[in-house]
Amino acid sequence: MDYAREKGVELVFTPIGKEAFVFYVNAKNPLENVSIADIRGIWSGKITRWDELGVEKLGAIRPFQREEGSGSQSTFVKLMGDTPIMEPEQEDVIGDMGGVIRKTADYRNYKNAIGYSFRFYATVMNPNVGIRLLSVNGVSPTRENIENGSYPLADCFYAVTRLDADDNTRALLEWICGPQGQALVELTGYTGYVEK
């Protein structure tokens, strides 16, 4: 944006779909829901054991993190807000989202793990039956809940165009926002954008 401003170009952000930030545990972990306060408690080090969340016999919580600068880590840091994030064990910082999903799914070694990702990545790009997405604040990250705004960690993604875009760009954007384009957004695994 700074570069565009520097060049005197005004950008237009048009919402074209929705995505959710999700938290997941090993599929054998009985936990079904976390609150945003729980998430902040876990990654700040204030909540350290599964029994503090009502899950017996899993011991200490192993909260994985992504490496600094990744999209999911940036989103996670924003979610944590002013709550300080504890320094993770070096082996608990994973370079790719697929690695976090695989480790969380590995019940023998990481049955006590919890991780995070974007819903599209966890359910479409790297699906794994060894993990289960958690509800957040009692709301499951289903497409319906993302679309209707009830899932608390969902937001729009945008097509970014120049204000002075040419006719072809405007026609493409109109198509993306229309029925065919939105059907394609849904087909690829995201949630369509429906203006309320």
Tens of pLDDT, residues 25-80: 998 999 999 999 999 999 999 999 999 999 999 999 999 887 777 778 889 999 99
**Residue 107, pLDDT score:** 46
**Residue 110, pLDDT score:** 67
CA distance 9 to 14: 16
Which range (146-150, 159-163, 166-170, 189-193) has the least confidence? 189-193
**Residue 109, pLDDT score:** 55
Q: Is residue 7 predicted with pLDDT exceeding 90?
A: no
Pairing state between β 154-162 and 62-63: unpaired
Q: Using one digit for the tens of pLDDT, what is the confidence trace for 118-148?
A: 999 888 877 778 899 999 999 999 999 999 9
Q: Identify the structural domains of the chain with CATH numbers, from first to last.
A: 2-16+152-192 (no CATH), 21-139 (3.40.190.10)
